[in-house]
Amino acid sequence: MTGTLALVCCGGVLFASGTALLMARPLTRILLGIVLIGNGVNILVLATSGAAGRAALLYPESDPGRMADPLPQAFILTAIVITLAVTAFLVTMAYRSWQHSGNDDVPDDIEDIRVVRRATYAEERERLRAAYRKRRHEYRALARGEEEREAREHSAYQRLGTARDRYREMRRRARADARVFRARQARAEETAEEIEGEDDPWQTILGADR
């Protein structure tokens, strides 16, 4: 049980380390990650193997307790061969990349960059459209408010002009009435003065009788 637990822990550590190296950009680290993952898988497969069961063909003097299950060992052998082939392929790719560009970093895929830029462009376009619609709505609301304010000011100016015209007409009529009243008053005063200047016939008649 202790040996199996140690194998499981060792395989888990190798698998986790290989996954962390596999996420890196340099091909060298990717290669090491593939190797560690392969070895971790092999150890986990070995940890899952146990004692063999009773086979269909077994010699009478054979002891099944001293035998191991050959299937996990065959799996491990096949995995070792596949891991070796993948390692050789990645070593060739890393060496070719180093000869071509001077480093073994994995470049970004052009199509992936286009997809990301297209998505970013679509998001930016939607954001700008939303901002434009908001600004246009605010501008239309402001324009309507400005038109209403101008209409109210125009109506107020019209009412003010009408009131001013009425005031001028009333003032003109008042001045005309005042002039007519002054003329009548002046004529009345002149008539009174003329009457006072003339001799009263009754006074003359009464004076003669007296």
Please check the confidence at residue 92 and state whether its pLDDT lies above 60. yes
Is 10 or 61 the better-scoring residue by pLDDT?
Answer: 10
pLDDT digits (tens, 9 = 90+) for 8-59: 888 889 989 989 988 888 888 888 888 898 888 888 888 877 654 555 556 6
User: Residue 208 domain-assigned?
Assistant: no
Model confidence at 64, pLDDT cuts 50, 70, 90, reads low
pLDDT digits (tens, 9 = 90+) for 149-194: 888 888 888 888 888 888 888 888 888 888 888 888 878 777 766 6
Domain range for residue 191?
109-195
Rounded to whole angstroms, the Cα distance separating 136 from 63 reads 89
- Domain shared by 85 and 147, yes or no: no
Q: How many domains, in total, are found in the chain?
A: 2
Please check the confidence at residue 133 and state whether its pLDDT lies above 80. yes
Query: Closest Cα partner for 97 from 36, 30, 34?
Result: 30
Lowest mean pLDDT of 2-6, 39-43, 140-144, name the range: 2-6
- Domain shared by 128 and 139, yes or no: yes
- Domain shared by 37 and 92, yes or no: yes
- Domain shared by 6 and 90, yes or no: yes
Please check the confidence at residue 198 and state whether its pLDDT lies above 70. no
Is 104 or 139 the better-scoring residue by pLDDT?
Answer: 139
Rounded to whole angstroms, the Cα distance separating 71 from 52 reads 9
Please check the confidence at residue 106 and state whether its pLDDT lies above 80. no
pLDDT at 61: 65
- Domain shared by 103 and 113, yes or no: no
Helices (H) and strands (E) in the chain, counts: 5, 0
Using alpha carbons, list the distances in angstroms from residue 137 to 65, 128, 131.
85, 14, 10
pLDDT at 1: 45
User: What average pLDDT score do residues 118-139 get?
Assistant: 89
User: Residue 209 domain-assigned?
Assistant: no
Model confidence at 110, pLDDT cuts 50, 70, 90, reads confident
pLDDT at 57: 57
DSSP states along 57-115: S--TT--GGG-B-HHHHHHHHHHHHHHHHHHHHHHHHHHHHHHHHSS-BPPPPHHHHHH
- Domain shared by 89 and 141, yes or no: no
Q: Which residue has the tokens 């459209």?
A: 129
Rounded to whole angstroms, the Cα distance separating 147 from 150 reads 5
- Domain shared by 117 and 103, yes or no: no
Q: What contacts 67, CB < 8 A, 6 or more positions away?
A: 51, 52
Model confidence at 199, pLDDT cuts 50, 70, 90, reads low
- CATH code, domain with 83: 1.10.287.3510
Using alpha carbons, list the distances in angstroms from residue 203 to 192, 196, 200, 207.
17, 13, 5, 6
